Amino acid sequence: MSTFTFIVCTYNRVPFIQETIESILFHCAHKNNFELLVIDNNSTDGTAEAVKPFLKNPVVRYVLETEQGLSHARNRGIKEAKNEVLVFVDDDIDLDAHYLDVCETVFANPALNIAGGKVLAFNAKVPEWLPKKYYYLASMFDLGDESQPTGKLMGANYALRRTVAQRIGWYNPELGRKGNNLMAGEENDYFNRAKLMGYSIWYEPRLIVYHKIADKLSTEYIFSYAQQQDKSDSIIESKTAKARYLSKIIKSVLMILTFYLYGAHAPTEERRTYYKIKQLYALGYLTNVQKKIFL
């Protein structure tokens, strides 16, 4: 039977981190093949004190990572983990009751090295103005109810063998969140590198976490995250896919024009939101271009 390390990276998320620890311990209480590793990414809100009572449980460990950034925190988790399979979940989730049972089944198959599943909203109604295509901007992920290969997963819910993580290497610290900065992209970069090395990525719908995203279901959050998302893609592609990078610069300019000529006046709020997100993606992508020009 495989052994598992839950890696929960956190930054200024009291009391969410307490609830997440409680959920993992409660739903895995019947198991003796896991540890829970909390990586505190230099929090200033008393996270260390909030986690301290849980350290009485021998499966819980706390590590302070002072280098700011989610990528640094995840890299520290990889270094500190003791078990065979690394399970990355966010610090504001509720674990499905059968999560670890499903993980055991998935990783009993030696052909599967990277797997993840659904990230569903926890006690929150998704607003009608948010196009389903962009649910992931509110940290939701659902490819349906069939197991299948996929190109990407959500960082809030995925697992991989530790030996595979060691071969892929570290998360890129140029990407990912840093403090309150919403820049992303470190997961896509990591999965792209895994695929280039020949590893397949598996979607298992029974691997479910429930994400506490009520504070993310606003246009302010969605729009800010959208702009930061393609900023990350631009950094990656400017180094690894020059032709695609140049093509997307042109497409980004056209998308900005399309928004002002049509998207801003689309007949429904959902369509206007769709085009606004596309415009912000374009603006985010061009941010990296502007830096290159003026440096």
Instruction: Let me know how long the chain is.
Output: 295
pLDDT (tens place) for every residue of the chain, 295 residues total: 799 999 999 999 998 999 999 999 999 999 999 999 999 999 999 999 999 999 999 999 999 999 998 999 999 999 999 999 999 999 999 999 999 999 999 999 999 999 999 999 999 889 999 998 899 899 899 999 999 999 889 999 999 999 999 999 998 877 756 555 545 567 888 898 999 999 999 999 999 999 999 888 999 989 988 887 777 677 777 777 778 888 888 998 999 999 999 989 999 999 999 999 999 989 888 876 655 544 4
- Rounded to 5°, the CA angle 192-197-200 comes to 70
Q: Which residues of 165-195 are buried (b: 16+ CB within 10 A; e: fewer)?
A: beebebbbbbbbbbeeebbbbbbbbbbebbe
Q: Taking the model in full, what pTM does it have?
A: 0.83
